[in-house]
Amino acid sequence: MSIEAVDVIAAPAAAIVALDPVRSRMLAELRQPRSAAELARALDLPRQRVHYHVRQLEAQGLVTGAGERRWGGLTERLLVATAEAYLVSPEVLGAAAARPSADERPDRLSAAYLVAVAGRAVQEVGALLRRCRESGRPAETFTLDAEITFRSPAARADFARDLAEAVTEVIARHHVEGPGGRRHRLLVGAYPIPPHTPADAGPNREQSHD
């Protein structure tokens, strides 16, 4: 059976279950269908404990049945994670979740503002994914991910100015007012890549799903 590439966890109870160290290891092992016996051997855990954790994961919709397999005269139930990877949405924190500033002119050079905007994107796109799964329709998304090296802070500032002007021009050319259109959110952010992060395969990676 096919599983989702990424699932965004929005329910606090599901987040609590998934964040348990043993259960998160189980989710990683269950990217491919496995039996409880295989899980017990892979994680070096007693079968009874494995069954307990599996029940918790199934109750939150993080693990599901994947058929049966006969082995050694026995019939084993196979299990699989509902996604290859998971991300916890900020909405799990409720009122304590980070949110972008409501100011008309927020501090766009603030790292905290970037984190809050990224968190909002996780929450909104996660909700979009859930709606698309229910309707069976693809999500209308577009992603541009790139790396760039600046010679100096001044060069970085020049780039930010040029990019803002270019994006503003493109938005003005395509934006429409009035009813009948579908609103989209565009995010552009930049930050220094942490040391020891592996280099990507190429300078630009662009994906779209229309």
pLDDT 10s digit of each residue in the chain, 210 long?
568 899 999 999 999 999 999 999 999 999 999 999 999 999 999 999 999 999 999 999 999 999 988 877 788 899 999 999 999 999 999 999 988 877 777 888 889 999 999 999 999 999 999 999 888 888 889 999 999 999 999 999 999 999 999 999 999 999 998 888 888 999 999 899 888 777 665 445 555 554
Looking at the structure, tell me whether residues 54 and 117 fall in a common domain.
no
Tokens of 14: 């599901």
Residues 13 and 73 reside in one and the same domain: yes
Look up the domain containing 209 and give its range.
Answer: 142-210
Cα–Cα distances in angstroms (integers) from residue 18 to residues 52, 81, 107, 140, in the given order:
14, 11, 34, 28
Q: What is the per-residue pLDDT for 200?
A: 62
- Do 147 and 184 have their domain in common? yes
Domain identity same for 97 and 74: no
- The pLDDT of residue 158: 95
**16 and 70 both lie in a single domain:** yes
Res 2: pLDDT: 66
- Regarding whether 194 and 153 lie in a shared domain, the answer is yes
Domain count, the chain: 3
What pLDDT, on the 0 to 100 scale, is given for residue 186? 92
Full-model pTM: 0.82
Q: How far apart are alpha carbons 11 and 124 in whole angstroms?
A: 14
Among residues 86, 103, 126, which one ends one of the domains? 86
Confidence (pLDDT) at 108: 81
Domain identity same for 18 and 81: yes
| Whether residues 131 and 147 fall in one domain | no
User: Are 10 and 75 within one domain?
Assistant: yes
pLDDT value for 69: 86
So what's the pLDDT on residue 84?
95
- Judge if 63 and 121 occupy the same domain: no
Last residue of a domain, one of 46, 63, 86: 86
What gap in Å lies between CA 64 and CA 49, rounded to an integer?
A: 18
pLDDT value of position 89: 95
Same-domain pairing of 111 and 148: no
Q: Looking up tokens 């050319």, which residue turns up? A: 173
